Structure 1
Amino acid sequence: MDGEKMVKSARNKTIDFDLAHAPAGVVAKIKTADDDLSTRSAVLDQSINGDSFAVLPQLPDRLADLALVDPPYNLNKQYDELNFKHLADVDYQDFTQRWVDALKPKLTPTASLYVFSDWQTSIAIAPILAQNFIIKNRITWQREKGRGAKTNWKNGLEDIWFLTLNAKKYTFNVDQVKQRRQVIAPYRENGQAKDWQETAAGRFRDTMPSNFWDDISIPYWSMPENTGHPTQKPEKLLAKTILASSNPGDLILDPFAGAGSSLVTAKKLGRHYVGIEQSKLYTAWGIYRLMRADHDQSIQGYQDGVFWERNTGALQRANKRHK
């Protein structure tokens, strides 16, 4: 009815409060460019509301061991009350070089980066990334959401560029990012399981990670991590990058932090973090999620030190019961 506020379903866990109704203590925790940001202690585990191009120069150099960079894709998109308009490729490349120049001094010499993009943006930024970093890999992850198209293929994939500053000296913890897959046709040798394990919860093989990720679920309304942000990345996706390319106690820097997914995931995994986000509302949503992470360190799809395939919630619960 007109004038009445829509009431969400009890199962709808989406975080979408406005600033006037922010939970107690959230807004007070927001830092801005007007605060002292010049020392590590001043920015450690902080979420900063401001323009990255203004905030990054204020941060201390050689701050971050890992950067997760999810800039606006080169699309017409509205973020809160901020609009990003599609640019000519050369202009978007200039935009990319600007944030690279601002970010690069803030990285340690052995730092890694992950840069997120859609397929069209990926084509434009690849030359800029190659000029400034060592490209180690291009990861493709499968999004199960997306509109169908009658005159083209549905866009169901996105890219993540894995970059380093040093060709040989960087962190990569391969054993931290294995994927647990169900064994459909188990092979035995002398009656014993070969290259897989038989447990009370089922038959599994922990596989080496590849650069194609097909086990990611986009946040949706019944997931506690879901927010009203239009392009939110899943915590499971970010957990893979953080576990692979940082160690406990390292610092993760996100200059386009959105609703704080990278910061929340870093906290849950025992890392420090610094986030910068231009929208005050999104910053508040992220801080609320950070506060909740004090009591809930779970990451959907990540359990027992491995990443599980999609739609295996029952198996994960069974595995947990038998532990």
Structure 2
Amino acid sequence: MSDEKPKAPNNRTLTLSPEEQQHYQAGLLNLAGPASAEMLGDRILHQDLFAVLDWLPQGWVDLLFLDPPYNLTKTFNQSSFRGRSLEDYQAWLGSWLPKLLGVLKPTASVYICGDWRSAAAIQILAEKYLIVRNRITWEREKGRGAKHNWKNCSEDIWFCTAGDRYTFNAEAVRLRRRVIAPYTDDHGNPKDWQKTEDGNYRLTYPSNLWTDLTVPFWSMPENTDHPTQKPEKLLAKIILASSQPGDMVFDPFLGSGTTAVVAKKLGRRYAGVELDLLYCCLAQKRLHLAEGDRQIQGYEEGVFWERNSSDRR
């Protein structure tokens, strides 16, 4: 809904008027029985994942992005998740993950998000049902300091595949880094870097440590009031690396729609499930806006830029 207080001039956080929510709600999908892959293509289901899990088709997903509630107590608009013991969290994951993996094609990739509280449970379940290829750690630079502990400013993403044949486009996710020590060869030519009017840069291949991401905040047009919204740039890295144009990207914990929006911007098909009506409608609005603006902050000219590189963040 729209905020009662007027927003600051530079506050670009997306909101919904009652009329917009009614409009976007009409485009949501609600299953009453088994669905086909064609039915789910480029649609958002406004339902509880666990109510529709048995109705999802088999073998139709090229890239599965999983961002389930982490093992901590958190409120998501009208719903909440309560932290539990590590053993109980692992049991919760195990109650739905194996069945959900039936949606995968044999060549599919899976990315599973978590933090240090959920790490052990995710690792155990992922290794049981998938091939774990790597664990990405990304710097989540927002957050409060702590006087009696280390500030928590990182999260993890497990990169897994369904089998030994899978997509990985390393060239598509190179990072442009500023050169601090511009070494040259014997003739004074740049050695593995490029001189530009904006400075000296080097293209580097992707690693499993991501320090170039900005968590969405009030001055960014992708920002919503969702409490755990992932950056579009983060999803762009994953989608470009682990899918091809036209592939199906599925997010069963869609939130405010980042996965679907980035998939659309990058020429992939998408499907998502989200329980909360407000977030579903925000996702629909973001998808509508993406029809006229395919820009992804921090991704330009086919490469990713370091955080705070000019206006690219």
TM range (shorter): over 0.9
CA drift of 1:22 comes to 2.3
Residue 22 of structure 1 is matched in structure 2 by 20
Partner of 2:279: helix, strand, or coil? Answer: helix
Residue 320 of structure 1 is matched in structure 2 by none
Asked if the contact 2:109/2:242 (under 8 Å) is kept, the reply is yes
The TM-score with structure 2 as length reference comes to 0.95
Question: Does 2:182 align with 1:204?
Answer: no
- Taking the TM superposition and a 5 Å limit, the aligned residue runs for 1:1-323 are 5-17=4-16, 20-22=18-20, 25-34=23-32, 38-166=35-163, 168-189=164-185, 190-314=187-311
CA drift of 1:185 comes to 1.6
Gaps of 5+ in 1: 318-323
Partner of 2:80: helix, strand, or coil? Answer: strand
Asked if the contact 1:33/1:54 (under 8 Å) is kept, the reply is no
Gaps of 5+ in 2: none
Number of aligned residue pairs: give it. 310
Asked if the contact 1:55/1:276 (under 8 Å) is kept, the reply is no
For each residue in 1:206-246, what CA deviation from the matched residue of structure 2 results, as whole angstroms up to 9, or x when unmatched? 00111000000000001010001000000001111111100
CA drift of 1:125 comes to 2.0
CA drift of 1:280 comes to 1.0
For each residue in 1:77-107, what CA deviation from the matched residue of structure 2 results, as whole angstroms up to 9, or x when unmatched? 1111111111222221121112312311100
Asked if the contact 1:249/1:271 (under 8 Å) is kept, the reply is yes
CA drift of 1:140 comes to 0.3
CA drift of 1:24 comes to 6.7
For each residue in 1:102-141, what CA deviation from the matched residue of structure 2 results, as whole angstroms up to 9, or x when unmatched? 3111000010010000111112221111111111001000
> Identity of paired residues, percent?
48
**How far apart are the structure 2 equivalents of 1:196 and 1:162?**
29
CA drift of 1:188 comes to 1.2
Partner of 1:22: helix, strand, or coil? Answer: helix
Which stretches of structure 1, 4 residues or longer, exceed 4 Å deviation after superposition? none
Q: Which amino acid aligns with 1:56?
A: L
CA drift of 1:159 comes to 0.5
Q: Which amino acid aligns with 1:22?
A: E
CA drift of 1:146 comes to 1.1
Asked if the contact 2:21/2:278 (under 8 Å) is kept, the reply is no
Q: Which amino acid aligns with 2:57?
A: P
**How far apart are the structure 2 equivalents of 1:89 and 1:184?**
43
Q: Which amino acid aligns with 1:15?
A: L
Q: Which amino acid aligns with 2:176?
A: R
CA drift of 1:37 comes to 5.7
**How far apart are the structure 2 equivalents of 1:259 and 1:181?**
30
Partner of 2:62: helix, strand, or coil? Answer: strand
Partner of 2:117: helix, strand, or coil? Answer: helix
CA drift of 1:302 comes to 0.4
**How far apart are the structure 1 equivalents of 2:136 and 2:86?**
22
For each residue in 1:130-189, what CA deviation from the matched residue of structure 2 results, as whole angstroms up to 9, or x when unmatched? 1111110010000111111111100011000001111x2111000011100011221111
Residue 321 of structure 1 is matched in structure 2 by none
Partner of 1:256: helix, strand, or coil? Answer: coil
Partner of 1:104: helix, strand, or coil? Answer: helix
CA drift of 1:248 comes to 0.5
**How far apart are the structure 2 equivalents of 1:44 and 1:237?**
22
CA drift of 1:278 comes to 0.8
**How far apart are the structure 2 equivalents of 1:294 and 1:5?**
28
